[in-house]
Amino acid sequence: MFRVKICGITNVDDATAVGRSGADAVGLNFFPKSPRYLAPDRAEAIVEALPPQVVKVGLFVNADAKSVCRTFDRLGLDLIQLHGDEPPEFLSQLGNRPVMRAFRLSDAGLAPVVEYLDRCRQLACMPEMVLIDAMVKGVYGGSGQVADWDVAKRYEAELSAANVPPPPLVLAGGLTPDNVAEAIRAVRPAAVDTASGVESAPGRKDPTAVEAFVRAAAGAFEEE
């Protein structure tokens, strides 16, 4: 659905800059405890400021299914990103709305991801995409910590070995303009996602960093 996502957009100016940068997806963070929190009422202007071809992703953490669906429908979003502790059964409550499921890699590696997706397969509610992030205790994304690339690059092989069809992989976790090309070469994900890696302050994007990130990612994807 996309290749380069800039997450944590909180204002129209940043949305406009990201739209100009060539990024093909943005994330709107509806988790109230995040420094990048965006109230749904304020999100309408941001969605309107984005080019129509940019994928609009709503990020939710342990919200109830009804509020997730209501926000998704009201804003005309394209994708739901679940970044909390939602069980596989939660996806089946979203009425076939497209989902990207985020996982924070722990010492258990990919085993919890395989188990989770196998259950999704059984319930016929497989996510459209899977996002791999770094594990930081008590933090649901946006930590700036680099995910374990050596583990992430085994994603497709481990799922295939378990007879679980692997959804496209989105790599997140500490990606910046300086390391995103290296990350793409190492992991070979379908897409990349960053928030803190292109900010001047939490929730404020640096247009120069955004453009550099998109340029570096696009170049690496072309090579691959």
133 noted as active-site residue: yes
Q: What is the pLDDT averaged over residues 138-147?
A: 64
Give the pLDDT confidence score for residue 143 in this predicted structure. Answer: 54
Q: Is the pLDDT of residue 140 over 90?
A: no
Q: Is the pLDDT of residue 139 over 60?
A: no
Tokens of 82: 């679940």
Give the pLDDT confidence score for residue 142 in this predicted structure. Answer: 52
Q: From the candidates 14, 78, 133, 148, give the one annotated as an active-site residue.
A: 133
**pLDDT one-digit tens code per residue, 98-112:** 999 999 988 889 999
Read off the pTM. 0.94
Q: Is the pLDDT of residue 135 over 70?
A: no
Higher pLDDT pick, 143 / 16: 16
Give the pLDDT confidence score for residue 136 in this predicted structure. Answer: 56
Give the pLDDT confidence score for residue 145 in this predicted structure. Answer: 77
CB-based contact 12:45 (threshold 8 Å): yes
Q: From the candidates 7, 14, 125, 148, give the one annotated as an active-site residue.
A: 7
Band of residue 141 on the pLDDT scale cut at 50, 70, 90 = low
Q: What is the pLDDT averaged over residues 191-195?
A: 97
Give the pLDDT confidence score for residue 144 in this predicted structure. Answer: 65
Q: Is the pLDDT of residue 157 over 70?
A: yes
**pLDDT one-digit tens code per residue, 26-77:** 999 999 999 999 999 999 999 999 999 999 999 999 999 999 999 999 999 9
14 noted as active-site residue: no
Higher pLDDT pick, 224 / 90: 90
Tokens of 102: 């985020």
Q: What is the pLDDT averaged over residues 165-181?
A: 97
Domains and CATH numbers, the chain: 4-223 (3.20.20.70)
